[in-house]
């Protein structure tokens, strides 16, 4: 039997309802914050991710579904959504028009990671990207929007926050960090030793305990920020405090994608095990320019749908819709016509093969409908239909032309 690929899965009941609820809720809230829907291709040129997410990141270095297509182009399945949205923003000349542009999107992302609980090779994100606003108030507003989304979904969280500086303050910090890392190099894991050269900042969030012990004395980014980055970071902290958001400073939060400047954050849940990040994002003021667009400040986030599916508190399911069944083959046309009329206003299930009323009622109950209506032999002769309200349990027989 052919099975789905490792790390990829089908989304069936009850997860499919949760999945839809998450998308609907997040989209509704994003629209309230002025975001409009954008759809970008799943397949992009590999160079897009190399230049944005970064050649030295794990995502680009190890995890891309990359191949040469029939035309000889080097392409890959998107490992994340930001790069594609930025490409679309530039390609459609929105960078030249100026002003503020805010987009939301959802869909599958692909990373060839080692699958485990909460870590898939095909997973789904809901994300938002805001272009054109330099102010840190936009960063805060995005965090507030994520709070609204998680509150509406009934999900608890903690926020981790850090600043990754800017081209003015980061080079100096990087130099200090490299010096420190070289001093402790021998005790670091192989990956970290390699990263001292390729991506020293990433050493900070190594998961190996021995590395973390050695990193306790490493220079802290937020203590080395330039005046502007420092002022923005402090403003952000003040806003988080004044809105009573549950946040903690995390000087080791550097994120796995290279495009961030200044604000970086993650929402984590304590209820889902090791893969606890349920959303992540931050500011990326240089990415548009890096991808050959007009310099445009930007900030965004994405949340992982599979990670939050089991945390969602669904609204109590209400009985909804109509079940139409026949026990008499000759009633087929009547029931098909009735179903077509009723489908203009509500959800209708039809069932043609059940022989007993009991079997019909059982099926209707399982489908969660409000009303079950059946035409049997007697009803057909009388031009009537038997109706049961599954909420009130009321039963009656009425003329078919009076059914509504
Ligand atoms: P990210 O932190 O790589 O950021 O991913 C965002 C979220 O996607 C994570 O917090 C997690 O919930 C989910 N996620 C990531 N990898 C997996 C996986 N293998 N299996 C299941 N869920 C996963 C980004 O992708 C950035 N594009 C976010 C962003 C938007 N930054 C600015 N704008």
- Provide the 3-class DSSP secondary structure of residue 108: strand
User: pLDDT tens string for the chain (404 positions)?
Assistant: 999 999 999 999 999 999 999 999 999 999 999 999 999 999 999 999 999 999 989 999 999 999 999 999 999 999 999 999 999 999 999 999 999 999 999 999 999 999 999 999 999 999 999 999 999 999 999 999 999 999 999 999 999 999 999 999 999 999 999 999 999 999 999 989 999 988 999 999 898 999 999 999 999 999 999 999 999 999 999 999 999 999 999 999 999 999 999 999 999 999 999 999 999 999 999 999 999 999 999 999 999 999 999 999 999 889 999 999 999 899 999 999 999 999 999 999 999 988 899 999 999 999 999 999 999 999 999 999 999 999 999 999 999 999 98
Using the mean position of ligand 1's atoms as its centre, give its distance from the Cα of residue 25 in Å.
Answer: 19
CA 279 to ligand 1 centroid distance, Å: 6
List all residues 6 or more positions away from 299 whose beta carbon is below 8 Å from its beta carbon: 129, 130, 133, 138, 139, 142, 263, 281, 282, 283, 284
Does pTM top 0.75 for this prediction? Answer: yes
363 class by beta-carbon count within 10 Å (0-12 exposed, 13-18 middle, 19+ buried): middle
Exposure string for 220-242, b = 16+ CB within 10 A, e = fewer: ebbebbeeebbebbeebbebbee
The answer, yes or no, to whether any atom of ligand 1 lies below 6 A from the CB of 59, is no
**302 Cβ closer than 6 Å to some ligand 1 atom:** yes
The edge-to-edge listing of strands for the beta sheet with 66-68 is: 43-45, 74-77, 66-68
Instruction: Residue 165: name the closest of 99, 263, 258, 78 by CA.
Output: 263
Judge if the beta carbon of residue 60 lies within 6 A of ligand 1: no
Closest ligand 1 atom, residue 281 Cα:
31
* Dist. CA 278 → ligand 1 center (Å): 8
Q: Which residue has the tokens 């994002």?
A: 281
Ligand 1 mean position, distance from CA 304 (Å): 6
Distance (Å, whole) CA 370 – CA 358: 16
Contact 323, 364 (CB under 8 A): yes
Residue holding tokens 């590395």?
A: 211
Quick check: CB of 148 below 6 Å from ligand 1? no
Q: Calculate how far, in angstroms, residue 32's C-alpha sits from the geometric centre of ligand 1.
A: 23
């Amino acid at each position: 039997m052919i099975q789905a690929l490792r790390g990829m899965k089908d989304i069936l009941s009850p997860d499919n309802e949760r999945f839809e609820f998450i998308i609907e809720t997040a989209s509704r809230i994003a629209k309230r914050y002025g975001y409009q829907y954008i759809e970008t291709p799943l397949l992009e040129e590999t160079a897009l991710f190399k230049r944005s997410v970064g050649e030295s990141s794990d995502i680009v270095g190890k995890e891309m579904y990359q191949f040469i297509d029939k035309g000889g182009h080097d392409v890959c399945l998107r490992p994340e959504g930001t790069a594609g949205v930025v490409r679309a923003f530039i390609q459609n000349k929105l960078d030249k028009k100026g002003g503020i542009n805010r987009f939301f999107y959802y869909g599958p992302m692909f990373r060839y990671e080692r699958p485990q609980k909460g870590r898939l090779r095909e997973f789904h994100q809901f994300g938002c990207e805001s272009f054109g606003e330099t102010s840190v108030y936009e960063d805060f507003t995005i965090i507030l929007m994520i709070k609204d989304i998680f509150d509406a979904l009934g999900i608890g969280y903690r926020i981790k926050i850090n600043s990754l500086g800017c081209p003015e303050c980061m080079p100096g910090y990087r130099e200090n960090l490299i010096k420190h890392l070289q001093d402790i190099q021998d005790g670091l894991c192989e990956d970290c030793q390699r990263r001292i050269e390729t991506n020293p900042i990433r050493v900070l969030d190594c998961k190996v305990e021995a590395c973390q012990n050695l990193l306790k004395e490493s220079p802290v980014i937020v203590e080395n920020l330039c005046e502007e980055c420092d002022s923005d970071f402090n403003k952000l902290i003040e806003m988080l405090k004044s809105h009573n958001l549950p946040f903690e400073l995390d000087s080791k939060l550097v994120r796995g994608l290279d495009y961030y400047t200044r604000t970086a954050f993650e929402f984590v849940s304590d209820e889902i095990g090791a893969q606890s990040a349920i959303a992540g994002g931050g500011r990326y003021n240089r990415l548009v320019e890096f991808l050959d667009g007009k310099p445009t400040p930007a900030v965004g986030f994405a949340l992982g749908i599979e990670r939050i599916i089991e945390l969602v508190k669904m609204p109590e399911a209400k009985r909804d819709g109509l079940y139409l069944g026949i026990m008499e083959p000759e009633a087929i046309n009547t029931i098909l016509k009735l179903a077509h009329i009723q489908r203009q206003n509500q959800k209708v299930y039809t069932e043609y093969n059940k022989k007993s009323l009991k079997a019909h009622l059982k099926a209707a109950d399982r489908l969660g409908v409000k009303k079950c209506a059946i035409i049997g032999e007697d009803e057909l002769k009388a031009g009537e239909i038997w109706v049961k309200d599954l909420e009130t349990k009321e039963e009656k027989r009425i003329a078919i032309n009076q059914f509504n």
